Amino acid sequence: MSFDLDFVKPAPPDGAALAAARAKWNAVAKPIGSLGELEAMVEKIAGLTGDADVDLSKRAVVVLCADNGVVARGVSQSGPDVTTAVASNIARNVSSVCMMASASRLDAYAVDMGMLDPPDDERVIDRSMGRGTADITTGPAMSREIALAAVRTGIDLVSEFKEQGYRILATGEMGIGNTTTSSAMAAAFLGMSPTEVTGRGAGLSDEGLARKVEAVERALEVNAPDSGDPLGVLASLGGFDIAGLAGMFIGGAVHRVPIVIDGFISALAAYTAARLCPGCECAMLASHVSAEPAARMLLEALGLHAPIQAGLRLGEGTGAVLLLPMLDAALALYNGTTFDETGIEAYEVHPR
């Protein structure tokens, strides 16, 4: 089934820059490959940007905010007013992710992708697709046209942030009910049952989890998504936040900006992006494995490995933010003392 993303054709990674980054790692006075995934991430960034001199000095976490009609089914502990409140707190630089971002030198931005009641604050970036999505248990969340527009919006956001000088973007989301929409999409894409992919989100009781599973089952029954039609899955079961995040991952590949995956919802959006635009995985960096059951499945489906496994489930992009200090430490070593400078004989390089 076709959709108009023909203009999106990510170039392959720069092989010369990737090789130069690997050679630079191999010259550092330490055992070859001893920083594991962190070395691979630095090489990946070099290949993406075409520059072995990796610079992540200007960074941001971009939190896409939207509301979901499925909240009417009792799938969450709170309502859309919390989406509004958190977006406002991000704009005022007082939310959880802002505290953590400040410690790691990231700027934090809230983007309205479709809140029911967006805060009256010009610091919230307005990219609204509407006042929340429809209830996925009664029909599609949105039209295919709106879903595609939201994806394009995410692509454009990356371009805008790159023009402002940002070198890396961490993704975040805020939208009460979005673990339900993500669970429904994960079930459709992965061919898993709702019980296998649906978790407790922000801390549902057993009764709440049962309602959530039932909502996912109903959404799949009503919409009958075709896993071979990624835009259709997104439009019928997703949310404006997921669509925008998918666009950001595609935009990272198009505009050569590394994009950090946060938790379950962000990973689901990254998987959606890969289905919409094969090859855009070149821009994706995994940060952590969320406590939600489908998170690991999605990262494995993308062929990505997350270095942080701490049972995180806070959201807002907090897990993605935590990757940056690890990359900073890795880059300090990457740009550090070489074997030649220490007088130590270099380790022998073996194929990976």
Q: Has residue 7 got a pLDDT over 80?
A: no
Rounded CA-CA distance 13/331 in Å is 20
Q: Which two three-digit tokens encode residue 304? A: 């990505």
Amino acid letter, 41 = M
Q: Has residue 2 got a pLDDT over 50?
A: no
CA 154 centroid distance within chain: 11
Rounded CA-CA distance 70/109 in Å is 26
Rounded CA-CA distance 160/255 in Å is 10
What integer is the mean pLDDT of 61-69?
A: 97
Nearest CA-CA partner of 132 in 223, 239, 265: 239
Going by CATH, does the domain composed of 59-332 fall within 3.40.50.880? Answer: no
* pLDDT attached to residue 4: 59
Tens digit of pLDDT for each residue in 275-310?
999 999 999 999 999 988 899 999 999 999 999 999
* pLDDT attached to residue 343: 82
Q: Is the CA virtual torsion 149, 150, 155, 159 positive or negative?
A: positive
| Better-predicted residue by pLDDT, 167 or 291 | 167
Burial call 253-275: b when 16+ CB within 10 Å, e when fewer = bbbbbbbbbbbbbbbbbbbbbbb
* pLDDT attached to residue 352: 60
Q: What torsion do the CA atoms of 66, 76, 273, 291 make, to the nearest 10 degrees?
A: 130
* pLDDT attached to residue 347: 78
Tens digit of pLDDT for each residue in 327-338?
999 999 999 988
Residue holding tokens 């990219």?
Answer: 127
What integer is the mean pLDDT of 153-166?
A: 98
Determine what percent of the chain is predicted with pLDDT higher than 70: 96
SS3 65: strand
Alpha helical stretches, state H, the chain: 15-27, 37-49, 80-91, 96-103, 144-163, 178-190, 194-197, 206-223, 230-237, 240-255, 264-276, 293-302, 318-334, 339-342
Residue holding tokens 């805020």?
Answer: 174
Domain boundary assignment for the chain: 15-53+334-342, 59-332
Confidence tier at 93 by pLDDT (50, 70, 90) = very high
Q: Has residue 345 got a pLDDT over 90?
A: no
Task: Compute how many other C-beta atoms are within 10 angstroms of the C-beta atom of residue 224.
Answer: 10
Predicted TM-score (pTM) of this structure? 0.95
Q: Has residue 49 got a pLDDT over 50?
A: yes
Q: Strands of 168-174's sheet, edge to edge?
A: 125-126, 106-114, 59-66, 168-174, 259-261, 284-286
Half-sphere exposure of 168 (CA within 13 A, CB side): 29
Nearest CA-CA partner of 29 in 347, 283, 312, 270: 347
Rounded CA-CA distance 271/249 in Å is 9
Q: Has residue 1 got a pLDDT over 50?
A: no
Q: With beta carbons less than 8 A apart as the criterion, state whether 50 and 14 touch.
A: yes
Q: Which residues participate in catalysis according to the annotation? A: 316
